[in-house]
C-alpha cells in the first residue's frame, strides 16, 4: 500500500524559511511525477510545485516561483520542498502527491493517484 508522509511544517514569521519532507513507501518516487499542493481554509487545493520522473524537470506555480524549490532524493525515496521568503499568503495545509494521471500541462492539477495527510504551514506577518 502506497504511503506518503509529510513532515516539516510549522509556524514561521514572514521572510523565514521551512523545508517540507515527504517520505514515500511502496512507491519508487523517481519513477513518478511527484508534487506539492496546498490548501488554505475556504480555498481550493492548488498545485505549488512538481517534479518529473527521470530527468527531474521541475514546474512551479507563479505565486511561488523563485522562492520555493522542489527536489528529490532517489536513494531515500524522499521528496522535498524548500520554501524561502515565506509570506502570510503561503499559510495553508501542504500535501505531497504522487503518480500524475491527468492530461493537462503542467502537472499542477489535482489528478494524482496518491496523497499524503498534509502538514500545516503558518506564516505570520
Question: What DSSP letter does each residue of 56-99 carry, written as one string?
Answer: --EEE-TTTTTTEEEEEETTTTEEEEEE-S--GGG-EEEEEEEE
**Would you state the pLDDT for residue 30?**
83
The answer to whether the beta carbons of residues 81 and 49 sit under 8 Å apart is yes
**Would you state the pLDDT for residue 58?**
98
The answer to whether the beta carbons of residues 82 and 68 sit under 8 Å apart is yes
**Would you state the pLDDT for residue 4?**
97
Residue 29 DSSP symbol:
G
Mean pLDDT of successive 10-residue stretches along the chain, which has 125 residues: 96 98 90 96 97 95 98 94 98 97 93 97 97
**Would you state the pLDDT for residue 27?**
85
Amino acid at each position: 500500500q502506497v504511503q506518503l508522509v509529510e513532515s516539516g511544517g510549522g509556524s514561521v514569521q514572514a521572510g523565514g524559511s521551512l523545508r517540507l519532507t515527504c517520505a514515500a513507501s511502496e512507491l519508487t518516487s523517481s519513477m513518478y511525477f511527484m508534487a506539492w499542493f496546498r490548501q488554505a481554509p475556504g480555498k481550493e487545493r492548488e498545485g505549488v510545485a512538481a517534479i518529473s520522473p527521470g530527468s527531474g524537470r521541475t514546474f512551479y506555480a507563479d505565486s511561488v516561483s523563485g522562492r520555493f524549490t522542489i527536489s528529490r532524493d532517489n536513494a531515500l525515496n524522499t521528496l522535498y520542498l524548500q520554501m524561502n521568503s515565506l509570506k502570510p499568503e503561503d499559510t495553508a495545509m501542504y500535501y505531497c502527491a504522487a503518480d500524475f494521471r491527468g492530461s493537462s500541462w503542467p502537472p499542477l492539477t489535482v489528478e494524482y493517484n496518491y496523497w499524503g495527510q498534509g502538514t500545516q504551514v503558518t506564516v505570520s506577518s
